[in-house]
Amino acid sequence: MPLHTIALELVPPNIDRGVEHAREEAHKLLKLSTEADIAGRIGHVMIPGMIPEDDDRPIEMKPKLDVGDFWSIIHPELPGVQGLCTQVTSFLNESALRSRLTGLGEAGFDGIVFVGVPRSMKDGEGGGIAPTDALSKFDGLVENRGVILVPTRDGEQGRFEFKCDQGATFGMTQLLYSDAIVGFLSQFSRSSDRRPEILLSFGFVPRLESRVGLIDWLIQDPGNKAVAAEQEFVRALAASEPDIKGRRLLDLYKRVVDGVAELGYPLSLHFEAPYGVSKPAFDTFAAMLDYWSPQA
């Protein structure tokens, strides 16, 4: 069954910040939801299983709470909210990955997005199980099996088709800073009978992005003109006044949801605040939900 949800991403905090800080993150989510008048509408928390990546990451990666441990702390604080997470598969053998997925299921995660090697490595490296193999190997263990969908990536039509053939039940898009997903799903609907659920990912861009460049780093794809245009849009958003930024993000959201709503895919939303949740981010997400929500 499709999730039909609104998921908010919460990154596990650094270990050195302690359990109480993790609990405070849950309380902050509830407070900001109430202030933005969307209390009770967030159906899932998406917790990314993060691993060290390139040395040029704008914000240093410090040891973080394990996904399961973070969820066990915040879940009791968030009544009615369920869990989703990402799991890197490429560094675990079949036995270790089966044990890991079993533990995540027992912890109460509704769905797991299988993720491969970081972009500094090539597909097939890592010594573990490729996400596409994990989809089929663990179909009886994980009901909602997700994959990452990057509509601007070269060869993504065939890659996504193969992932669906292997057993993916949903695709979670990379952060969307253009309406490229509309053309991607329109073409996919013409060439494939597959209709997996799509979690459309939208991210708030604070002024801090102008100085740090984390979002620019997250969506980079050197040599890809479509991504270069998205990076320019992000830079413009970061430099914009709040009201202009809000209008431009809402306009993008409208173009995306209007463009994909009639294509036959079950739709959910995935909201991100890469620098941490904030009132401006929640106000922006609330404006988006006023226009369209999968819960309507």
Q: What stretches of the chain show up as alpha helix (H) in DSSP?
A: 18-35, 67-74, 94-107, 131-137, 156-166, 180-191, 209-212, 214-219, 225-239, 242-260, 279-291
- Determine, yes or no, domain membership for 175: yes
- Determine, yes or no, domain membership for 227: yes
Q: How far is CA 155 from the centre of its chain?
A: 21
> Which range of residues forms the domain containing residue 246?
6-291
Residue 179 backbone phi and psi in degrees, to 5: -100, 30
CA 2 – CA 268 distance, rounded (Å): 9
pLDDT at 126: 63
- Determine, yes or no, domain membership for 296: no
- Determine, yes or no, domain membership for 265: yes
pLDDT at 50: 82
119: CATH: 3.20.20.220
pLDDT at 51: 78
- Determine, yes or no, domain membership for 62: yes
pLDDT at 89: 94
Closest CA to 114 of 86, 133, 136: 86
- Determine, yes or no, domain membership for 31: yes
Instruction: Tell me which residues of the chain have a pLDDT lower than 70.
Output: 53-55, 118-126, 296
pLDDT at 280: 97
Domain count, the chain: 1
- Determine, yes or no, domain membership for 267: yes
* Locus of tokens 């999730």: 3
CA 48 – CA 165 distance, rounded (Å): 24
- Determine, yes or no, domain membership for 281: yes
Alpha-carbon dihedral sign for residues 98, 102, 103, 108: positive
pLDDT at 60: 86
User: For the range 152-155, what are the long-range contacts, defined as Cβ-Cβ under 8 Å and sequence gap of 24 or more?
Assistant: 152/178, 152/180, 152/221, 152/224, 152/226, 152/227, 152/230, 153/221, 153/224, 154/224
DSSP three-state, residue 207: coil
Write the pLDDT tens digit of every residue in 153-212.
999 999 999 999 999 999 999 999 999 999 999 999 999 999 999 999 999 999 999 999
Instruction: Check residue 64 and report its DSSP letter.
Output: B
